Amino acid sequence: MKTIGLLGGMSWESSIEYERIINTEVRRRLGGTHSADLIIRSYDFAVIEALQERDEWDQAGDRLAADAVRLEQAGAELIVLCTNTMHRLAPAIEAAIGIPFLHIADATATAIDAAGLSRIALLGTRYTMEQDFYRGRLEAGGLDVRVPAGPDRDMVHGVIFDELVRGEVRGESRRRFVDLIERMVGEGAEGVIAGCTEIELLVRPEDVPGAYFPTTTLHALAAVDAALT
């Protein structure tokens, strides 16, 4: 089993889901008392959020890349970044390390391709929905990626930062997300990407009409595949 290095704590509510899913899947596959071999760098998310808000992405990239190197030096054999938004900095991390970096958008695209779909709604932080680092990677693979209109993007971003990263899961917010997903499916989307790891804490597969692609789960399972290969 390879050692997985986790860059997490963005936020820890979703990062502990990575740990839970990875460990549960390793035990399921190997049996007995097996669990994953993990090295974890967890952050004070308030510091990361401040860098995002001040548009200081280069500084954030330097920090994540340096910590990925430390994980490699500590024995990690692959790196998993436990967040969608911070994959904007994936090139800086990949350039700094000599071990595989598992990109969350690639794990998601693989699942969408396996489902035979092409028109996909994307929900996430404003950065993920509006910038090219995530959408562009999916679209380069031939997907038609659709994001909500401006007011709905504001709602999704607000729920993530005002509620979910603070550990608040509200029924009213779930209803607003499901209503948005239903409207986007009605407009032609064949499924929806939970493109922020915290969204899985709010929206469940049974809540969603059409296919649901929970990126935390897909990414964590891809990490297990890589660790056990």
- Residue ranges covered by each domain of the chain: 4-103+218-228, 105-214
Q: To which H or E segment does residue 203 belong?
A: none
Cβ 165 vs Cβ 125: under 8 Å: no
Question: pLDDT for 8-33, tens place per residue?
Answer: 988 898 899 999 999 999 999 999 99
Select which of 85, 196, 197, 215 is catalytic.
196
Site of tokens 């839970």? 20
pLDDT digits (tens, 9 = 90+) for 63-91: 999 999 999 999 999 999 999 999 999 99
Q: CA end-to-end span of the chain, whole Å?
A: 8
Q: Which CATH number fits domain 105-214: 3.30.465.10, 3.30.200.20, 3.40.50.1860, 3.40.605.10?
A: 3.40.50.1860
Give me the architecture of the 4-103+218-228 domain, per CATH: 3-Layer(aba) Sandwich (3.40)
User: Residue 34 phi/psi, 5° resolution?
Assistant: -65, 145
110 counts as catalytic: no
- Cα separation, 86 vs 65, in Å, equals 11
Rounded Cα distance between 31 and 17, Å, is 20
Given the residues 82, 83, 197, 215, select the one marked as catalytic: 83
For residue 128, indicate whether it is catalytic.
no
Residue 146: count of CB within 10 angstroms of its CB: 18
